[in-house]
Amino acid sequence: MMERHEILGLMAELKLVGMRHAYDEVVADALKRQHPIQHVLGDLLTAEIAEKHARSIKYQMTASKLPLAREIDAFEFTGTPINEGLVRDLATGGFLASQRNVVL
């Protein structure tokens, strides 16, 4: 049987960052709830996919060179063709609650 440090070492060698970070929590939960091995593997794979997805989004945001956050109140609408009322209405997210489409 493989020891914890050996498993974590193999995960690091394979660059399975998400699995490595989730390993202790997933195994502890599995032991507590008596989950079958398929459940443990599924949870570890799900953690890895989530980590890869998060890294991809982070890379794309960095590559886009867009500012990460900007307050709408700091935007200067004067002198632009942008409809301030419409933008502020969209910023409230009210279209989500009323299930309306937004086309940009």
pLDDT at site 20: 98
Digit-coded pLDDT (tens) for 31-60:
999 999 999 999 999 999 999 999 999 999
Is the entire prediction scored with pTM above 0.85?
A: no
- 79 in the same domain as 57: no
Q: How far apart are CA 63 and CA 85, in angstroms?
A: 31
- 12 in the same domain as 36: yes
Digit-coded pLDDT (tens) for 54-74:
999 999 988 988 877 778 888
30 versus 69: the higher-pLDDT residue is 30
How many domains does the structure of the chain reveal? 2
Q: In b/e form, how buried is each residue of 61-99, taking b as 16+ CB within 10 angstroms?
A: eeeeeeeeeeeeeeeeeeeeeeeeeeeeeeeeeeeeeee
pLDDT at site 43: 98
Domain residue limits at 34? 4-64
- 77 in the same domain as 33: no
Structure-token match 């599995």, residue found: 30
Inform me whether the pLDDT recorded for 23 exceeds 90.
Answer: yes
- 13 in the same domain as 55: yes
- 95 in the same domain as 58: no
